[in-house]
C-alpha cells in the first residue's frame, strides 16, 4: 500500500467573464495545483487569482501549458513540430513563473494539458521536445508525467525530476492510456467508485484498466479534474477516504530517476 500521495487538480481555466471550476474550494483540499497559462484556458487575471490562492493555502504551484486552442479548450489535436512544442511550453512556463512570483510563490512543477498531454503520452519525441522547453527555462522543475507512458520515458531520458501521475476520474485503456472522453464510461463521476478504484490502485501499486487489468506503475500523485461535474465533492470524498486509510497527503518530492 502506498502510504504517501499528492493530490493535484487542473485550475485557473476561467476566461474573462466565463467561469469554470471551483478553484477556491479545491485549493483547500489538494496539495498541488496545475494552473492554466492562457493558451487553452485562463487569462492574466485568472492566473493571478489562482496563484495568490495557492500561495495562501500552501499548495504547490504548477504550470499547465496546452495547445493554442481556447475554443476547443486545448482538447483538439494539432499537428505541431517538436520545435513548436519546445517553444510553446517554454513560453507558457515563463508566464506562469512571472505570475507566481507576483503572488509571492514559485512554480515547482509542470504538467502538459489535454491534447498536448495525450499526444506526448504516445509520442516520446514530442514529449522530449516539450520537456526540453521546460528544462531550458528551469532545469530543476519537476515534470508531472502520466505514469507508464512515453511522457515518463522522455522525462527519464532527460534526467529530469519526475512525479508520476494517475487519474482519479478517468478510465484507462489496456495500453495504460486515458480512454477517449467521447467513450462511454471514460469520465467517472461517482465519488464512491472513484475512491474504491484509487484505493485499489494504491494497494496494488498499479493502474487498473477499465477491463480490470493491473499494469504495475509508479504512483506519486493523483489528478482530479477541476472541470469535472461535482469536482469538489469528489475531491473531498477522495481526500477523506485516503486519510481514513492512513495515507498522508502532501506535495511530491520529484526525484531524479537513474
What's residue 48's pLDDT?
98
Per-residue model confidence as pLDDT tens digits over 7-30: 999 999 999 999 998 999 999 999
What's residue 247's pLDDT?
97
CA distance between the termini of the chain:
24
- At what angle are helices 82-102 and 124-137 packed, to 10 degrees? 40
In angstroms, the CA 13 to CA 35 distance is: 8
Domain ranges of the chain: 4-250
Mean pLDDT of the chain: 96
| Cβ neighbours of residue 177 closer than 8 Å, sequence gap 6 or more | 118, 121, 122, 146, 149
CATH superfamily of domain region 4-250: Glycoside hydrolase/deacetylase (3.20.20.370)
Residue 72: exposure state from Cβ atoms within 10 A (0-12, 13-18, ≥19)? middle
- Contact (Cβ atoms closer than 8 angstroms) between residue 216 and residue 205: yes
What's residue 258's pLDDT?
66
Per-residue model confidence as pLDDT tens digits over 151-207: 999 999 999 999 999 999 999 999 999 998 889 999 999 999 999 999 999 999 999
Amino acid at each position: 500500500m502506498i502510504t504517501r500521495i499528492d493530490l493535484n487538480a487542473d485550475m485557473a481555466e476561467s476566461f474573462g467573464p466565463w467561469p469554470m471550476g471551483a478553484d477556491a474550494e479545491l485549493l483547500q483540499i489538494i496539495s498541488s495545483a496545475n494552473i492554466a497559462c492562457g493558451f487553452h484556458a485562463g487569462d492574466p487575471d485568472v492566473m493571478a487569482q489562482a496563484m495568490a490562492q495557492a500561495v495562501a493555502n500552501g499548495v504547490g504551484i504548477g504550470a499547465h501549458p496546452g495547445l493554442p486552442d481556447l475554443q476547443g479548450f486545448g482538447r483538439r489535436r494539432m499537428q505541431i513540430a517538436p520545435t513548436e512544442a519546445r517553444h510553446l511550453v517554454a513560453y507558457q512556463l515563463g508566464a506562469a513563473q512571472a505570475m507566481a512570483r507576483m503572488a509571492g510563490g514559485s512554480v515547482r512543477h509542470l504538467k502538459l494539458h489535454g491534447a498536448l498531454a495525450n499526444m506526448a503520452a504516445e509520442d516520446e519525441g514530442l514529449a522530449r521536445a516539450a520537456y526540453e522547453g521546460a528544462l531550458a527555462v528551469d532545469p530543476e522543475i519537476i515534470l508531472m508525467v502520466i505514469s507508464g507512458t512515453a511522457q515518463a520515458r522522455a522525462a527519464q531520458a532527460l534526467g529530469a525530476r519526475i512525479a508520476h501521475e494517475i487519474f482519479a476520474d478517468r478510465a484507462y485503456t489496456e495500453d495504460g492510456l486515458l480512454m477517449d472522453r467521447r467513450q462511454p464510461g471514460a469520465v467517472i463521476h461517482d465519488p464512491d467508485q472513484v475512491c474504491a478504484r484509487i484505493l485499489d490502485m494504491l494497494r496494488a501499486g498499479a493502474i487498473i484498466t477499465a477491463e480490470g487489468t493491473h499494469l504495475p506503475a509508479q504512483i506519486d500523485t493523483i489528478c482530479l479534474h477541476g472541470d469535472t461535474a461535482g469536482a469538489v465533492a469528489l475531491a473531498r470524498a477522495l481526500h477523506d477516504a485516503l486519510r481514513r486509510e492512513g495515507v498522508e497527503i502532501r506535495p511530491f518530492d520529484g526525484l531524479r530517476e537513474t
